[in-house]
Structure 1
């Protein structure tokens, strides 16, 4: 059993491969942000047929990433979906990269994640004027070039996780007591990786 507030660590290749399909990654991210949604609602956001979106949601459900949101349907004709864990999921490359199939899956999933994040950030950049000064002044993008060991980079990653987890819990607690005014979804992307010059 994983500790509270820790994302589920995927160690099974078949589960990881569920996210090699870029549409599934996009649907998961949209559903995570929305809380609950129907296939039709998600289909509008991704410009795909509801039947195709429904198929991919069922595939994600087969692997335990999404579940049916009980009690949401008013007429029983359309299913409502939600992510299975609000803590999300993660994986370690080293759990998969010892086989060619595992390495290919890791490459496909990590590139898919990057593509989704890049598309999301490009959308924000295209819509900056619509957000107003308070949000554009608060938004940030930064890059730091450091000299670290692998152990130090892992320690820094853990510190960033603890920090973002604290802010996520603060937002959830505020929302739980009805403090929703001026509250928006905020995406924070951090990358820490080695490079040589």
Structure 2
């Protein structure tokens, strides 16, 4: 069963496993589905079941996902779930060697492109969502003058706020009216 604890990824092999485009898509699809089989995920990502099964096993080998309890009587089906509700990746854990730094850069660029694609898809499909959801959607940008320590503290505080809402949703007895929601926050220094 997935734990609510966030895992800080520091192992190069785990980051390499996550830095694969299909694996990152599978992680997101599995997170949204809560539990799924390779066949169900293959339909979502439009790939062959055998390829999806291979990549799911790679993610499981690194503790990113795990086998879930069977959801049907068919003993041939293998069910999967995410092993952690969230994970973080930090530059400071990968800057000690060129291969580690390159893998970190590849992963963060891939994750950012995925966020952009998700948001663009929402913008394209926005009119299909009910007014209640369109009004609730958030697109904000803040520019603040902070020290590195203040930025770190702000990131930690915002992470705690989001974790509180995630725990609230997980504890809710019903799922009526709930949708998967992507919340992205980026904080980084910039100069003119």
Unaligned runs of 5+ in 2: none
Unaligned runs of 5+ in 1: none
1:34-73 correspondence to structure 2 within 5 Å: 34-73=33-72
Q: Distance in 2 between matches of 1:145 and 1:27?
A: 33
Aligned to 1:171: 169
**Number of residue pairs aligned between Structure 1 and Structure 2:** 190
Report the 3-state secondary structure (helix = DSSP H, G, I; strand = E; otherwise coil) of the residue aligned with 1:56: helix
TM-score by length of 2: 0.94
TM-score by length of 1: 0.92
Report the 3-state secondary structure (helix = DSSP H, G, I; strand = E; otherwise coil) of the residue aligned with 1:127: helix
Q: Distance in 1 between matches of 2:9 and 2:42?
A: 27
Q: Give the number of the structure whose residues are more often strand, by fraction.
A: 2
Report the 3-state secondary structure (helix = DSSP H, G, I; strand = E; otherwise coil) of the residue aligned with 1:148: coil
Report the 3-state secondary structure (helix = DSSP H, G, I; strand = E; otherwise coil) of the residue aligned with 1:6: strand
- Of 116, 119, 137 in structure 2, the residue corresponding to residue 118 of structure 1 is 116
State whether structure 2 residue 176 is matched by structure 1 residue 181. yes
RMSD: 1.3
After superposition, give the CA deviation of every residue in 1:74-93 in whole Å (9 maximum; x if it has no partner).
2112211111122x211221
How far apart are 1:5 and its partner, in Å? Answer: 4.2
After superposition, give the CA deviation of every residue in 1:30-55 in whole Å (9 maximum; x if it has no partner).
11111101111111111111111110
Instruction: Kindly indicate whether structure 1 or structure 2 has the higher relative contact order, using CA contacts under 8 Å at least 6 residues apart.
Output: 2
